[in-house]
Amino acid sequence: MSEPIVGKGIDRVDGRLKVTGKATYAAEVAVANVAHGVIVGSAISRGRISTVDIKAAQQAPGVLAVLTHDNAPKLPGAHKKAVGQERILQFLQDDVILYSDQPIALVIADTIENAQYAAGLVAPTYDANDKPVADLDAASATAYTPKSLGPRGEVNSTRGNFDKGFAAATFKIDATYTTPVENHHPMELHSTTAVWQGEDVVTLYDATQGIFSVRTRIAELFDIPPVKVRVISHYVGGGFGSKGTPWSHIALAAMGAKVLGRAVNVTVTRPQMFSLVGHRPKTVQTIQLGADRQGKLTAIKHAVISETSRFDEFVEPAASQTRMLYSCPNVITSHALVRIDIPTPTFQRAPGESTGTYALESAMDELAYATAIDPLELRIRNHATQDEQERKPFSSKSLLECYRRGAAAFGWAKRNPKPRSTRDGKALIGLGMATATYPARQLPSSAVARMTPDGMLLVMAGTQDIGTGTYTIMTQIAADALAMPIDRVRFELGDTEFPETPTSGGSTTASSTGSAVKVTCLALRKNLVDLAIGDTASPLHGIPATSITFDQGALVSGGKRDNYGDIVKRSGAPEIGAEIKTQPTEDHKKYSMHSFGATFAEVRVDEDLGQIRVARLVAAYGAGKILNAKTGRSQFLGGIVWAIGMTLQEHTVRDPRTARVITRGLDDYHVPVNADVPDITVIAVDEVDPYVNELGAKGIGEIGITGMNAAIANAVFHATGKRIRDLPITLDKLTSEERA
């Protein structure tokens, strides 16, 4: 029997293509006679367009078309809200301005340089009588309860009697924590090239996390059957949620290409990333915790207010994890929205849990100091053995082991609990910790597997690789299912002509499409066995299927072998295949499924300057089966590094007078670089979960950002004695705030 490949830290199968520049991303696809479109954005945030003077732009060198609301084609589905999580978008259909940088024109030219130059010649005038509202604090009185929390359960939740539990508490925490607007900035900008074949058939080369959602949206907008829309996305240079739903530039590229009868590429600029592809909304989170003398929680209330646009609705589900993370009889959670003059927010890595664990785990740290109980011990005392909100057992939970192993690797037991108690010269040293968590979900998905006469296995699924290693883990899963050498397996993705799969988001790709790949390959294996034992020319003819094993691309029994390729050849068929669609099992209704982790941080704070340096990070995770130790570690690290930026750096700034974003690029929107990232220890706790899916995998792309932001913030308090409840923790806040 071949040695299992799943779990091993093998190199990325597409790694050489990427490092040699041969992996083709959306903007690089070679399309004949492609023209280039540049989006012109509005200079106001609220009002109407009075006029758009495009004469100079039309006469500029190389210009092929200038589209505005005056001359753009009317899209049949432009004013329909798409099914699911899709956003209401703007496609040059009217003169209403809803947010700054909203598309008001598309300039198309023969080269990108000519299009950019001509875009600067478009001269709009506006009627902007109403003053825009830039921040939810300015409109907090208008907060309302949304209708839905999307796929995350009920908007509000209650169990027990909070008022009674809080009144009976010996120790009480009542604090408000805020997280700022943050923007996605993957290395690859959003880009789409549209090519029409006739009036109603279009191919889109798109940078997306969801090729099938793009297909559905474009079909709806242009009122054509989905089967006539093909979306191809072989490589994606990061998404983090921003590429999870279709945005306006995709439809504008398709519109421009149809008008011209020529391929058109539209690539969103770095400044436009702040307005055209969503953002993480600002949150204001009030947390009340009550505990008895032993530190056992008696009451929790977590109330979240976040921002959304005036024309659409997105809820940051920041209180979701609070419903189940700790054992407590009396818990209330709520979510409210404030409408302001901004583009609609969207998912950003670990939406809800990243912001919510920061607030909850900071409050738990405050409770630890109030009770004089070690922060780790406090969490252990309140460990939940089941999901008390859903009244379900966990499918698996290794959190206590994560606490133990993480604390041992970090040296938590040596920590002096007193703030400002440890220093190295002028550097105040602080140690903090927090709990991490993220849901483990599975969605319907499908795959096809084919064995060829030369013994090659081809597996296809219309999923996406957003840089997480999907090509690699799917290859490993397929190789294991058929006991084949990995170099005899080819996995293809990123095409809507392949079997349908869900969007790559919510850490669901491995669990959903990975399960489909495994089940499909096992079905193919059964087909090969049935052919062999029923074929008089096979050395395994008549042998019971139960006695057959699988090794290096062959069926084996009693010293006899029949290679997969030979079975296909004798069948007379060009290939032997299988295609299966998988669904979440009934176990998803019986169990609460989550990953958990323990995060530990050491910071050094310059006592005079307030400068914060993260010196050391340790994280231990129980996240089911890790399918590739190497790419898995990379995913954990990516989330942890993001937590550094979220805690200490990231902050989108809007002008309060105009609601226009001031931070326009990576020069003033700060993210961690090499010098900001310390030694990071990641521990993957072995965890067997027989219920979560066919692979036992929970998904790991997002849990790394949860909890660690609070661990860093808690370490800053331990170092300085100053509790900063407003992210990011910058030196001005640290040097000006009163001590908590």
Query: Cβ of 295: how many Cβ atoms within 10 Å?
Result: 21
| CATH number for 478 | 3.30.365.10
Q: What is the mean pLDDT of residues 300-329?
A: 98
- Measured in whole angstroms, the distance separating CA 278 from the mean position of its chain's CA atoms is 13
* Residue 71 domain-assigned (yes or no): yes
Q: Among residues 258, 274, 290, which one ends one of the domains?
A: 274
| Statement to judge: residues 564 and 602 lie in one domain | no
Domain count for the chain = 3
Tens digits of residue pLDDT in 469-486: 999 999 999 999 999 999
Q: Is 595 left (phi over 0), alpha (psi -120 to 50) or beta?
A: beta
Q: Among residues 551, 566, 583, which one ends one of the domains?
A: 583
* Residue 181 domain-assigned (yes or no): no
CA–CA gap between residue 275 and residue 345 (Å, rounded): 9
* Residue 622 domain-assigned (yes or no): yes
Q: Does residue 401 have a pLDDT over 60?
A: yes
Q: Does residue 506 have a pLDDT over 60?
A: yes
- Give the pLDDT band of residue 153 (cuts 50, 70, 90): confident
* Residue 261 domain-assigned (yes or no): yes
| Statement to judge: residues 661 and 532 lie in one domain | no
CA–CA gap between residue 183 and residue 654 (Å, rounded): 12
What distance, in Å, lies between the first and last C-alpha atoms of the chain?
62
Tens digits of residue pLDDT in 552-608: 999 999 999 999 999 999 999 999 999 999 999 999 999 999 999 999 999 999 999
Q: Does residue 1 have a pLDDT over 70?
A: no
Q: Using DSSP bridges, classify how beta strands 103-109 and 35-41 pair: parallel, antiparallel or unpaired.
A: antiparallel
| Statement to judge: residues 419 and 363 lie in one domain | yes
Mean pLDDT rounded to a whole number for the chain = 96
Q: Does residue 48 have a pLDDT over 90?
A: yes
Task: Supply the DSSP string of 266-300, one letter for each residue.
Answer: EE--TGGGGTSS--BPPEEEEEEEEE-TT--EEEE
Residue 84: the pLDDT is: 62
From residue 399, give the alpha-carbon distance in Å to each of 295, 297, 738. 19, 18, 35
Of residues 735 and 357, the one with the higher pLDDT is 357
| Statement to judge: residues 407 and 474 lie in one domain | no
| Statement to judge: residues 287 and 412 lie in one domain | yes
Task: Supply the DSSP string of 119-136, one letter for each residue.
Answer: HTT-EEEEE--SPP---G
| Statement to judge: residues 261 and 299 lie in one domain | no
Token couple for 635: 């995913």
Token couple for 453: 């006469």
Q: What is the mean pLDDT of residues 406-435?
A: 97
* Catalytic, out of 182, 702, 737, 738: 702
| Statement to judge: residues 270 and 322 lie in one domain | no
pLDDT above 70 as % of the chain: 99
Q: Does residue 85 have a pLDDT over 80?
A: no
| Statement to judge: residues 287 and 270 lie in one domain | no
* Residue 136 domain-assigned (yes or no): no
DSSP classification of residue 675: G
Task: Supply the DSSP string of 11-70, one letter for each residue.
Answer: PPTTHHHHHTT-SPPGGG---TT-EEEEEEEPS-SSEEEEEEE-HHHHTSTTEEEEE-TT
CA–CA gap between residue 415 and residue 374 (Å, rounded): 10
| Statement to judge: residues 99 and 245 lie in one domain | yes
Residue 737: the pLDDT is: 57
Sequence-ordered list of residues with C-beta below 8 angstroms from that of 675, at least 6 positions apart, any chain: none
Tens digits of residue pLDDT in 233-250: 999 999 999 999 999 999
| Sign of the CA dihedral with 130 first, then 136, 141, and 142 last | positive
| Statement to judge: residues 264 and 207 lie in one domain | yes
Q: Among residues 274, 289, 305, which one ends one of the domains?
A: 274
CA–CA gap between residue 315 and residue 145 (Å, rounded): 10
Task: Supply the DSSP string of 586-642, one letter for each residue.
Answer: THHHHSB-EEEEEEEEEEEEETTT--EEEEEEEEEEE-B--SBHHHHHHHHHHHHHH
| Statement to judge: residues 503 and 594 lie in one domain | no
* Residue 169 domain-assigned (yes or no): no
Helices and strands in the chain, H and E counts: 16, 29
Range of the domain at 81: 31-130+187-274
* Residue 495 domain-assigned (yes or no): yes
Tens digits of residue pLDDT in 193-207: 999 999 999 999 999
702 counts as catalytic: yes
| Statement to judge: residues 608 and 731 lie in one domain | yes
Q: What is the mean pLDDT of residues 20-43?
A: 97
Q: Does residue 739 have a pLDDT over 50?
A: no
* Residue 8 domain-assigned (yes or no): no
Q: Does this model's pTM top 0.95?
A: yes
Residue 738: the pLDDT is: 55
Q: Pick the closest to residue 222 from 252, 181, 249 (CA basis).
A: 252
